[in-house]
Structure 1
Amino acid sequence: MFVRQLQYLVALAEHRHFARAAEASWVSQPALSAGIRQLERELGIMIILRDRRFQGFTPEGERVLAWARQTLASLEGLRQEAALAQVVPGGHLAIGTVPSALRAVSMLASEYRRAIPKLTLEVFSLSTRDILHRLKNKDIHLGLAYADGCDAATYDAMTLYQERFVLLFNDKAGLPEQRSFTWTEAARLPLCLFNHEMQNRKIVENAFLQARVEPNVVVETNTLSVLYEEVRTGEVCSVAPVSALPDYFLASGIQIRPLEPQQISPMSLLRLHEESAPALVNAAWDMAPRLDLQGRLDGVLEDGCSGIR
């Protein structure tokens, strides 16, 4: 039995498709299939339900998959411990983030790379539910998400910053020059909002509800790129948290203004609760609160309003 065979199983569980799993594993599809068949022969059980396509895992296969994930996580922890023991911090860190925290996770990743020179990173844009699921399966090491309803016995949660919502518009929209807007004023504008798959959409709708207004939503999307293109035309505006906005938003004529009263929602760093977490995960966890993400995100908002009386 080889570690590579266990990696094939985990890749197949993630992609649910032989060809895509092989591509993610950097091997040919026949090589991946042969490796899994060899593992089945060694264990004397059928792991995969298959005809010409992947049909799922057998009950025995599901147990083997859980064991494979645990083994690979333990192996990664061993590698990280060895790296740190040699005073050469490094290893691999997988982070899941909700789309509304993409700017924040970019700041976090940049600081991690600066502090840990040999670090490699994977960043996945996921829903809060998917982040919790992947943390539990040990597919990712850390998550940046909403911690509401998070099981404290299963996950550790640490608030990193308070999410602040802003109105986004292009100069061509012809909005008055003012330092902030109310939710009532925003509701009158044609809006492009994240769709109901996103947790922050619930927060935005609650803000409009508290203001006793119905927003004029003309476009809904689950991607930041669509929101950007819609706002860039000047035909629609948007509402989004500052922590979702990459630099190119603010460098292309898109304006941001605070929405009053502020809707503040805590964003937390999450990890699986373990007695002995990998050394790299512990190092990243301990480093995060020292990075002052709140101050840096608030600075983005202040810069966006500079020059406005």
Structure 2
Amino acid sequence: MIDKLEFFIALAREGHFGRAAEECGISQPSLSAAIRQLEEQLGVQLVVRGSRYQGLTPEGQRVLEWAKRIVGDARTMREEMRAARKGLVGHIRLASIPTALAMIPRLTEPFQAKHPEVTFSVVSRNSLQVLSQLDNFEIDAGITYLDNEPLGRVTSVPLYAERYNLVTAEGAPYADRESVTWKEMADLRLCLLTPDMQNRRIINQHLAEAGVTVKPMLESNSMVVLLSHVGTGRWASIMPRNVARSFGFTKEIRTIPIVDPEATHIVGLVATHREPFTPLVSALLHEARSLTPAAMA
């Protein structure tokens, strides 16, 4: 039944029989047949029938919750038995908010030094996508904000506090200052992350609290794009202090703390709350907890 539950989870996630079948590596008729067999085994209709996928029945929604729990437990059992045979080996899938991407090596490097047979893949996602992909088993862990928007049922480990700087070119407005205020951001030609990013919502929140509304001249979901525009000398940006430092700015670029207030938000590692965790996730959480604040500063 486990394979049928995995097919059902994929169908609910993709909302399309063809895409779900492709993801599972089977034909669409095979997927449809597996879903019908699952319905027969459980004695309930799971999918609203029609010419195409139209969603889950109320019973289907409830079965989906059980399916995620059962499939998660089965995967944990398989990984635990593999670890017992071979030690800690495997692959960890991470998703991270863009502002934390530069900090990930401070977690993955010491982890892989201790567990050289473990590999990683890292993708950039917004905070809502991180949580959604966790829930759908598309990733093993995520890095996101812990204190600004609801996280749901996850286990979290704080990694560092995000603080904000004005990032601007030498000779640009405010470039000679030791600090600037949120209110003064209204005077600048800004490039910022797109509104679907929680970092942007945080920035908008602090600007609004200062009585300021800004209209960015450029938006992107990439910190690299923002930085490249700042480098032209025509744009300025608002970036977390740790991100600004990680890019290795030259002397032509200034990073200036934004105060009044000096805002902070906590970024951390999140994993689906479950006991027991898979051996890989358990080891990653342990590594995150062992990091000192200085290591992530």
Q: TM-score, normalised by structure 2?
A: 0.77
- Contact (CA 8 Å) 1:180, 1:257: kept in 2 or not? no
Measured against aligned partners, the alpha-carbon deviations of 1:119-158 in whole angstroms (never above 9, x if no partner) come to: 3445454444454455556654433222227789944332
Q: Distance in 1 between matches of 2:54 and 2:250?
A: 47
Residue 307 of structure 1: aligned partner: none
Pair 231,123 (structure 1): closer, same or farther in 2 beyond 3 Å? same
* Secondary structure class of the residue paired with 1:48: coil
* Secondary structure class of the residue paired with 1:266: strand
Residue 163 of structure 2: aligned partner: 164
- Contact (CA 8 Å) 2:148, 2:265: kept in 1 or not? no
Q: Distance in 1 between matches of 2:195 and 2:256?
A: 22
Residue 39 of structure 1: aligned partner: 38
1:280 aligns with 2:280: yes
Residue 116 of structure 2: aligned partner: 117
Runs of 4+ in 1 over 6 A off after TM superposition: 149-153, 251-254
Q: Distance in 2 between matches of 1:211 and 1:111?
A: 40
- Contact (CA 8 Å) 2:207, 2:213: kept in 1 or not? yes
Pair 225,34 (structure 1): closer, same or farther in 2 beyond 3 Å? farther
Measured against aligned partners, the alpha-carbon deviations of 1:18-73 in whole angstroms (never above 9, x if no partner) come to: 33323333344444334334433444443222434221122222233222211221
Q: 1:257 aligns with which of 252, 255, 258?
A: 255
What is the RMSD of the two structures over their aligned residues, measured on CA atoms?
3.7
CA positional deviation for 1:78: 1.1
Residue 268 of structure 1: aligned partner: 268
Residue 103 of structure 1: aligned partner: 102
Which structure 2 residues correspond to residues 19-34 of structure 1 after superposition, within 5 A?
19-34=18-33
Q: Distance in 1 between matches of 2:132 and 2:165?
A: 30
Measured against aligned partners, the alpha-carbon deviations of 1:172-200 in whole angstroms (never above 9, x if no partner) come to: x8567658541355442200112433332
Q: Distance in 2 between matches of 1:97 and 1:279?
A: 21
Aligned residues: 294
- Contact (CA 8 Å) 1:168, 1:238: kept in 2 or not? yes
Q: Which moved further from structure 2: 253-262 or 65-74?
A: 253-262
Q: Give the letter for the 2:255 counterpart.
A: R
Q: Distance in 1 between matches of 2:206 and 2:150?
A: 26
Q: Give the letter for the 1:193 counterpart.
A: L
Pair 8,117 (structure 1): closer, same or farther in 2 beyond 3 Å? farther
Q: Distance in 2 between matches of 1:44 and 1:224?
A: 51
Q: Distance in 1 between matches of 2:72 and 2:276?
A: 12
- Contact (CA 8 Å) 1:102, 1:243: kept in 2 or not? no
Which structure 2 residues correspond to residues 37-186 of structure 1 after superposition, within 5 A?
37-86=36-85, 88-132=87-131, 135=134, 140-148=139-147, 154-169=153-168, 174=172, 178=176, 180-183=178-181, 186=185
- Contact (CA 8 Å) 2:107, 2:287: kept in 1 or not? no
Q: Which moved further from structure 2: 27-36 or 77-86?
A: 27-36
CA positional deviation for 1:216: 5.5
- Contact (CA 8 Å) 1:16, 1:56: kept in 2 or not? yes
* Secondary structure class of the residue paired with 1:55: coil
- Contact (CA 8 Å) 1:145, 1:270: kept in 2 or not? yes
- Contact (CA 8 Å) 1:189, 1:216: kept in 2 or not? no
Residue 290 of structure 1: aligned partner: 290
- Contact (CA 8 Å) 2:10, 2:24: kept in 1 or not? yes
Q: Distance in 2 between matches of 1:51 and 1:157?
A: 41
| % identity of equivalent residues | 32
- Contact (CA 8 Å) 2:169, 2:230: kept in 1 or not? yes
Q: Distance in 1 between matches of 2:276 and 2:235?
A: 50
- Contact (CA 8 Å) 2:167, 2:244: kept in 1 or not? no
Q: TM-score, normalised by structure 1?
A: 0.75
CA positional deviation for 1:74: 0.8
